[in-house]
Amino acid sequence: MPFPPPRAAVSEAGGRGLRGAGPPNGAARLGTCGRTPPVWPVPSSAVLVGEKPRWIVHIPPNEPGYRRRERHRQRTSYLHDVSTPDRRARLSLALLLLPWLAAMSSACALDEPTAPRTNVILISLDTLGAHSLGAYGYTRETSPQIDALLAQSTVFTHAYTLEPHTLPAHTSLFTSLHPLSHGVEGRLTGGQPVPAKAPSLTSSLKQNGYTTAAFVNGGFLHPRFGLDRDFDRYDYYSDIKTRGQRGDLRYGRSAAQTNEALGRWLDEIRSTDAADASYPPFFLFLHYFDIHSDWRGLPYDSPEPYRAQLVTDATIDFEAPSEAGGGSDFLVRVGDGQRAVAQDDIAYIRSLYDAGIRYTGDRVGELLSLLGSRGLLENSLIVLVSDHGEEFMEHGKMLHTQLYEETMRIPFALHFPDSAKFPAGTRPELVTHLDVAPTVLSYLGIGTPNEMQGRDLMPALREQAPVPVEPIVLYSSGHDRLALVHAERKLLYDQATDHAELYALDDDPLEQVDLAPGNPDAVKEAIDRLRQAVDALPKPDPDRAVPGVRLDAGTVEELKALGYVR
């Protein structure tokens, strides 16, 4: 809850009346029960403190000037002397308005009871490609719980990550800045962490009175990389170690353990008032890592009964000494051509991945039950996304470094609490991570920082209108590769070799027929358009730059266990 106004201050009309529209020396905005309020050249709140007249700006948590409630000194900084003649004139005018404000307060109380503020729950399922979900057309039963959620949501069928690596993808998700604009790469050491002064979904929500918490897993979400900024609680896995299916030591925690930690946190923030056992408005970020490949043991690992349900037979014996290490290292060797495998073995590896999706999806179902049992689903906006997909030799590689559809197409869904206004369904427009933060903020009625590059999708969703078509630039840091997706055409371009590929995604969604050799003019036009789009992107702000990340030995060891260090 925000601090109440100081003693003798003019009260806000129904929580909406007298609102600070800016800094203390700015004009006051007198609210009218949610209607567009007029702007008056008077202080926000005229009061008497002791025997001395003063004026106070009391900024509620949904205003830009609000900061975290723990900073008691900030309240007193808004207390100013009004004993000078020019200020006494303002005070007189303000006092004349008090009867009007009182009447408006009564009207607001009768007509518009205060509704609880909408919570935001952002779920990121690491390494989940859209093509692996039933809701997106996958034939194996990998995701009944996720599909059930998506059946009640607005689902974007052509959503893209802009970068196939965890850290830059999540940076774009939170900042609404393109990877070529924020400068964060998928490197372990010496790379640029999240810019300290970049706008973010977290900071906007925190400034508007939200409690912010994250429960994350996976090496590139370590606090050292900077995504923890503006979270009241950033619950990282670093001290947790578990045993894999073969008994090998693994860092991190399972999705089930993540849900347990979340349940404890929800109990902590719940009001202790027996008459009002409610929760403060919160922003919750949940990052599940179980689908991701493992460095040791099997390439992908999940507990029983999930392996028994989905894993197929293979000729590979991962218990053999020749396969020691296994896991992601094995996948790298396959993708580099150092280890030949049969097609049945690729299917086996893919089935291990599918089992991880089924396990994680069931944990998403448990999450929804956990929230529902606390009455939180009725007032929460749920956003489900992924950072990138995964490759299984569709284009000659494993893991996730290339810019083909299996890696770059991701799930993106919005589950609205007011489903009558936003009925479930699918949307075919091209959207990206950049659009998440502006859309969430717009839905909540919070202004979007000017620096954010994504689009607000809410006008189109409210009016059931199409989202304007814009080209999308994809980028793979460290590989010098770019791609342009526009109007069902996709160009892939390697800057180092000047090699280009061109696909018609409407006729060839799996990118099997390269049109570039027979269409040199179309390729040249697409490359020119790509360069124009890249040139139009703002470049990383040097004023936001911070020293490159340097990790200690313990963190590097954790990242080795997760497959990020060879």
Predicted confidence (pLDDT) per residue in 158-194, tens digit:
999 999 999 999 999 999 999 999 988 876 544 567 8
Q: For tokens 């179309």, what's the residue?
A: 522
Contact 413, 155 (CB under 8 A): yes
Out of 192-206, 239-253, 255-269, 277-291, pick the least confident: 239-253
Mean pLDDT lowest among 177-181, 240-244, 359-363, 538-542: 240-244
So what's the pLDDT on residue 180?
Answer: 94
**Average pLDDT of 494-512?**
95
Least confident of 144-148, 344-348, 373-377: 344-348
Confidence tier at 12 by pLDDT (50, 70, 90): very low
Report the pLDDT value the prediction gives residue 54, as an integer from 0 to 100. Answer: 39
Distance (Å, rounded) from C-alpha 100 to C-alpha 106? 10
pLDDT for 399? 85
Look at residues 429, 422, 368 and name the one whose alpha carbon lies nearest to residue 160.
429
* Mean pLDDT, rounded, of the chain: 77
**For position 273, what pLDDT does the model report?**
60
In the prediction, which pLDDT does 75 show?
30
For 14-31, letters b (16+ CB in 10 Å) and e give: bbbbbbbbbebeeebbbb
State mean pLDDT over 405-426.
95
Which of 163-167, 224-228, 330-334, 529-533 shows the lowest per-residue confidence on average (mean pLDDT)? Answer: 330-334
- Average pLDDT over every residue of 278-286: 92
What is the distance between the alpha carbons of residues 95 and 276, in angstroms, rounded to a whole number? Answer: 35
Give dist(CA 371, CA 527) in Å, integer. Answer: 48
User: What string of H, E and C letters represents the secondary structure of 61-130?
Assistant: CCCCCCCCCCCCHHHHHCEEECCCHHHHHHHHHHHHCHHHHHHHHHHHHHHCCCCCCCEEEEEEECCCCH
Report yes or no: 319 and 248 within 8 Å, Cβ to Cβ.
Answer: no
Instruction: Please say if the pLDDT value at position 415 is more than 50.
Output: yes
Q: What is the mean pLDDT of residues 265-288?
A: 82
Domains of the chain plus CATH, in order, are: 13-111 (no CATH), 119-562 (3.40.720.10)
- What pLDDT shows up at residue 107? 44
Confidence of residue 238 (pLDDT cuts 50, 70, 90): low
Q: What average pLDDT does this structure show over 110-125?
A: 76
What pLDDT shows up at residue 344?
Answer: 86
pLDDT over 60 at 560, yes or no: no
* CA–CA distances in Å: residue 205 to residues 171, 269, 456, 462: 16, 17, 16, 22
- Percent of the chain whose predicted confidence (pLDDT) is above 90: 48
Residues in the chain: 566
**Pick the residue with more confidence: 186 or 379?**
379
Among the listed ranges 98-112, 248-262, 283-297, 439-453, which one has the minimum average pLDDT value?
98-112
Q: What is the pLDDT of residue 452?
A: 97
Q: Which residues, including other chains, have CB under 8 Å from residue 196's CB and lie 6 or more apart?
A: 226, 229, 544, 546
Cα 558 to Cα 562: distance, rounded to the nearest angstrom: 6
Res 80 pLDDT > 70: no
Provide mean pLDDT across the span 267-284: 78
Under the banding of pLDDT at 50, 70 and 90, the label for residue 374 is very high
| Range scoring the smallest mean pLDDT among 57-71, 258-272, 491-505 | 57-71
Phi, psi (deg, nearest 5) at residue 407: -95, -35
Confidence tier at 57 by pLDDT (50, 70, 90): very low
Q: Average the pLDDT over each of 359-363, 379-383, 389-393, 550-554 and give the range with the smallest value.
A: 550-554
d(CA 93, CA 104): 17
Residue whose entry in the numeric block shows the structure tokens 């900077």? 226
Report whether 199 contacts 175 (CB < 8 A): yes
How far, in Å, are 214, 222, 350 from residue 262 at the CA level?
9, 18, 30
More confident residue, 393 or 130: 130
pLDDT of residue 3: 27
Percent of the chain whose pLDDT exceeds 70: 68
- Report the alpha-carbon distance of residue 528 to residue 530 in Å, rounded: 5
